[in-house]
Amino acid sequence: MFTPIKTPKVYDQVIEQIKSKIKSGEIKKGDRLPSEREMAESLSVSRTSVREAIKALEVIGLVESKQGAGNYIRTDFHNSLFEPLSVMFMLQESSLKEMYDLRETLELQCAKLAATNIKDTEIDFLTVILDRMYEAESEEESLELDIKFHYLLAKASRNVLLINVLEVISQLMDEFIKASRMKILHEGNSRESLLEIHENLVKALKIRDEVKVCNAMQEHFDLIRKAYKYDK
């Protein structure tokens, strides 16, 4: 199954072979990896090197270890993306503005794809969320509904990679600025403007108008930038 390895950085090569077999389709999501002993024999390396490689793949969220059952390629990468990206952003000293820029780029693309891919049932759900946003009795409730609205819109893009990365970015931003985001709803007519923008989004989605969907989403981010005094 594997090719014998002869290199000083043995565990790196173990990782590369596993990744290569994932790319080729030989190893798929949910597959159980051979035991440490089997892999060590097949690769002509020590079990320690195999163990180090598996641990590294666990850290980045590619592999999960099931007690008494062995090591498996993950089937759900939803939560595994968060920690590596979180650390990366901290090391890069990414600013909130940079994260907003990234979120804007991702959400605009999701909105564009959603205009074509969204299902009628999802539009109905967005309409229900919008109605609840109008009826919300607190800003905290409005914010929670707003997050649900945007997550569902992203999901309607049908692009798993965009959805996963966008959700990670949203989690990171919530960690740092969840409280400060509330001020958007405090400033002047911002609440009414937000509701109108979300209503325009739903209307544009109902007629599958990609341009109007993207324009409404851009208005949303222009409002956020204005509240935080971010320049494009």
Residue 144 lies in a domain: yes
- pTM of the predicted model over 0.75: no
Residue 82 lies in a domain: no
| pLDDT averaged over every residue in the chain | 84
pLDDT tens for each residue of 165-179: 888 777 776 765 554
Q: Please, is 133 exposed, middle or buried when counting C-beta atoms within 10 Å of its C-beta (0-12, 13-18, 19+)?
A: buried
In the chain, alpha helices (H): 10-24, 36-43, 47-59, 82-91, 96-117, 120-135, 139-155, 160-181, 190-206, 210-228
Six token digits for residue 107: 């959400």
**In the beta sheet, which residues pair with residue 32?**
72
Residue 133 and residue 211 in one domain: yes
| H and E: helices and strands count for the chain | 10, 2
Residue 131 and residue 35 in one domain: no
Q: Which of 29-33, 65-69, 84-88 has the lowest mean pLDDT?
A: 84-88
Residue with tokens 């850290």: 59
Give residue 62's pLDDT band: very low, low, confident or very high (50, 70, 90): confident
Six token digits for residue 27: 């190893």
Residue 221, Cα to own-chain centre: how many angstroms?
18
**C-beta separation of 217 from 109 below 8 A:** no
Residue 3 lies in a domain: no
Positive/negative CA dihedral, 12, 15, 17, 23: negative
**C-beta separation of 157 from 163 below 8 A:** yes
Alpha carbons 145 and 136: distance in angstroms, whole number: 9
Alpha carbons 138 and 58: distance in angstroms, whole number: 41
- Return the higher-pLDDT residue of 9 and 185: 9
What's residue 98's pLDDT? 82
Is the pLDDT at 7 greater than 60? The verdict is no
What's residue 71's pLDDT? 93
What's residue 164's pLDDT? 82
What's residue 56's pLDDT? 87
Residue 127 and residue 176 in one domain: yes
Residue 173 lies in a domain: yes
Alpha carbons 201 and 152: distance in angstroms, whole number: 12
Residue 94 and residue 161 in one domain: yes
Is the pLDDT at 46 greater than 70? The verdict is yes
What's residue 9's pLDDT? 81
Which secondary structure element, helix H or strand E, spans residue 66, and what is its range? strand 63-66
CATH number, domain with residue 191 = 1.20.120.530
- Return the higher-pLDDT residue of 134 and 176: 134
What's residue 131's pLDDT? 96
Residue 65 and residue 162 in one domain: no
Residue 64 lies in a domain: yes
Residue 92 and residue 137 in one domain: yes
Residue 105 and residue 172 in one domain: yes
Is the pLDDT at 60 greater than 80? The verdict is no
Residue 2 lies in a domain: no
Domain that holds residue 24: 10-73
What's residue 114's pLDDT? 97
Residue 190 lies in a domain: yes
Please give the average per-residue pLDDT across 35-60, as a whole number.
Answer: 90
Please tell me the number of Cα atoms within 13 Å of 224 on its side-chain side.
19
Residue 79 lies in a domain: no
Give residue 11's pLDDT band: very low, low, confident or very high (50, 70, 90): confident
Residue 66 and residue 94 in one domain: no
What's residue 102's pLDDT? 87
Six token digits for residue 33: 């990896």
**In the beta sheet, which residues pair with residue 65?**
71
CATH number, domain with residue 32 = 1.10.10.10
CA 92 vs CA 22, 60, 88, 200, 217: distances in Å:
29, 18, 6, 36, 28
pLDDT tens for each residue of 162-220: 988 888 777 776 765 554 556 566 655 577 888 999 999 999 999 999 999 999 999 98
Residue 42 and residue 95 in one domain: no
Residue 101 and residue 193 in one domain: yes
Number of domains in the chain: 2
Six token digits for residue 136: 């919300």
